[in-house]
């Protein structure tokens, strides 16, 4: 899984957070090298999801109470709508002992713009 110390496709950044491009993320989850943690809220996920067995849905609003449900047996790629919440959650995970994680650059907006696979009701 190829990550960078600074984002290349978005402006928002939090020091210490690794970033991964959508193409690299898709390759990593398809090869079973990483898991995707979708932290969008339920109303966002109802409309569009990344369909893959390696995706776990855990809304950011519930992350502090449910962090113990995250199985970190593989690197975790955190995704949100645009890359801001995912960076914040990645920082939270790191502070809580899940250090092998990265934020998906551009979030679902960029994923969709690149034509990567989704299961959508739109």
Structure confidence at residue 3 (pLDDT): 94
Q: How confident is the model at residue 47 (pLDDT cuts 50, 70, 90)?
A: confident
CATH number at residue 97: 3.40.250.10
Q: Which residues are catalytic?
A: 80
Q: State the residue range of the domain holding 66.
A: 18-120
pTM: 0.93
Does a structural domain hold residue 4? Answer: no
pLDDT beyond 80 at 52? yes
12 in any annotated domain: no
Is residue 5 in a domain?
no
Residue 40 placed within a domain? yes
Considering its fold, how many domains does the chain have in total? Answer: 1
**Is 9 contained in some domain?**
no
Residue 49: predicted pLDDT: 87
The dihedral through the CA atoms of 30, 40, 110, 51 has a sign that is positive
């Amino acid at each position: 899984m190829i990550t960078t110390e600074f984002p290349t496709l978005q402006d928002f950044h939090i020091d210490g957070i690794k970033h991964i491009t959508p193409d690299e993320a898709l390759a990593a989850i398809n090869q079973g090298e990483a898991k995707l943690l979708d932290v969008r809220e339920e109303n966002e996920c109802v409309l569009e999801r990344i369909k893959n067995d390696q995706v776990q849905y855990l809304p950011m609003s519930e992350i502090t109470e449910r962090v113990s449900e995250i199985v970190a047996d593989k690197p975790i790629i955190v995704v949100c709508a645009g890359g801001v919440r995912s960076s914040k959650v990645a920082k939270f995970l790191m502070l809580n002992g899940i250090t092998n994680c990265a934020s998906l650059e551009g979030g679902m907006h960029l994923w969709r713009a690149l034509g990567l696979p989704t299961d959508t009701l739109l």
